[in-house]
Structure 1
Amino acid sequence: MENLTETMPGLAERLAERLAHAISSGDLLAGSRLPTEQALCDQYGVSRTVVREAISMLKHDELVVSRQGSGTYVSQQPKVALRLSPPLGNLQSVSEILEIRSALEVKAAELAAQRCDRARLRRIRNALEELEDAVERGEEGVHEDLAFHRAIVAATGNEHFLATIDFLHRLLHQAIQVTRRNEARHPPFMRQVEDEHRALLDAIASGDAEAARNAASLHLANAERRLRLAQGAPDDG
């Protein structure tokens, strides 16, 4: 059985932290151009995928910006971002992130069902279609999965809610990567996830707040249950 630790995206996280430290310490000056992807690959002994993911994290923290046709540069006034420790790679750690998601996303689904207008609903539908397309292409769909759930939070119309989710972006991204990699190894799990996402969308579209709340709660509880089953841990559910 594959160890959960081996599925964690730790390389990208560590590279992002190294580059963020270089920026905060002044080794990479404000306004300076980052080394090329290949140079970073050679320097840190990682793949281009890892480099791109790490740079994506830095962009989200507004530490770097991209200039089309020119490269990636340290922001002129890089922010000192609050750092959240990544999941440790064990079942307990990821389960704790799922608890945070449940506290936020179950209420978000309820509010989305009550407040969602046509434009917001269309964005949720589009996000789910993009996720399904990514799966069809054989991709993990981590970014798309996160975008789907973020679209539901955005549909609440509560900007503070959305800001909270965005602050937790890296934490949620890594936990979703763990759950999706686990589910991708078990086709029945993938079908369950697709059905749960559809049920959540349908409940929001119908304006049924209770059904949306229940669908979100079930989806997140099942995500933990699927992890436990895959790891051979006792099923608490």
Structure 2
Amino acid sequence: MTELDRDTGRGLAQELVERLKEKILGGEIEPGRKLPAESSLMAEYAVSRTVVREAISRLQAAGLVETFQGRGSFVLALPEATTFEPTRIRSHRDVLDLLDFRIGVETEAAGLAAHRRTEHQLKAIERALKTFKRAAGNPARAVEADFAFHLKIAAASGNRFYTELLGSLGPMMIMLPRTRLDPSYELTDATHFTRVTLEHENIHDAIARADAEAARAAVRVHLSNSRHRLKQP
């Protein structure tokens, strides 16, 4: 039996993900091979079935495995490195274009999430929302929590390309240039933070109700508002 480290603060599911990733990326479990059965993983790592299923779900979202009903989960070939370079987004025009791009991408991701999300994924979105609320008055933490909220929604879409795309952008996609923002639109402003929190809550609530159209509309409103908060050149 292989014990997982329970003191990292990352949770057992993520610890199991890391162990399995090491085996996949290290070639111990080659592309095309089947992952050990749920019962075998439970016994080997001394974890519950819930932990195993959550870990496999995260590996699926990362594009490392594919699961077939009644057959199990199989390791996929490692994806080639992407040529997309989000670090080149620096100008004010780039930021406006990025928000337009996000509206198109994240609106549909939220609609899919409303249809496809699991209870585990819904709870992950809720936890990210709570973390964002607790970050009031701490802009750095708020940006990280904001990004995590949007990334969890992408994961709940059930389409790994949404997760990979937002993951490649990273927290920088949340950071609006301060030189273009009115002081009342800073994350340190309590009124503005309350408005953004409410927008996030509307997205979460629509996904929780499995209302795809409301989820799409809530994301569009949130990101459109973010765009309007930027001063025009």
TM-score by length of 2: 0.57
- Following TM superposition, the consecutive aligned residue runs of length 4 or more in structure 1 with deviations greater than 4 angstroms are 136-140, 179-182
- 2:115 and 2:212 in contact (8 A); partners too: yes
Distance 2:195 2:102 in 1: 19
2:194 to 173, 182, 191: 191
Task: Give identity over the alignment, percent.
Answer: 33
Of stretches 217-226 and 137-146 in structure 1, the one that deviates more from structure 2 is: 137-146
- 2:109 and 2:153 in contact (8 A); partners too: yes
- 2:136 and 2:188 in contact (8 A); partners too: no
Q: Which residue of 1 aligns with 2:136?
A: 135
Please list every run of 5 or more consecutive structure 2 residues that lacks an aligned counterpart in the other structure: 1-79
The answer to whether structure 1 residue 205 and structure 2 residue 208 are counterparts is yes
- 2:128 and 2:148 in contact (8 A); partners too: yes
Instruction: State the 1:138 CA deviation.
Output: 6.1
2:221 to 205, 218, 222: 218
Q: Which residue of 1 aligns with 2:125?
A: 124
Distance 1:215 1:163 in 2: 22
Instruction: State the 1:139 CA deviation.
Output: 4.5
Please list every run of 5 or more consecutive structure 1 residues that lacks an aligned counterpart in the other structure: 1-78
Change (3 A) 1:165 1:137: closer
> What is the number of equivalent residue pairs in this alignment?
148
Instruction: State the 1:211 CA deviation.
Output: 0.4
Change (3 A) 1:168 1:192: same
- 2:137 and 2:187 in contact (8 A); partners too: no
Instruction: State the 1:112 CA deviation.
Output: 0.5
Of stretches 120-129 and 159-168 in structure 1, the one that deviates more from structure 2 is: 159-168
Residue type at the aligned position of 1:175: M
Instruction: State the 1:87 CA deviation.
Output: 2.4
Q: Which residue of 2 aligns with 1:99?
A: 100
Classify the secondary structure of the residue corresponding to 1:141: helix
Distance 2:218 2:177 in 1: 18
Q: Which residue of 1 aligns with 2:160?
A: 159
Distance 2:193 2:117 in 1: 27
Residue type at the aligned position of 1:176: I
Q: Which residue of 2 aligns with 1:21?
A: none
RMSD, aligned α-carbons: 2.4
Distance 2:212 2:159 in 1: 16
Change (3 A) 1:139 1:110: same
Aligned residue runs from structure 1 range 171-186, under 5 A:
173-178=171-176, 182-186=185-189
Distance 1:104 1:114 in 2: 16
Instruction: State the 1:185 CA deviation.
Output: 4.8
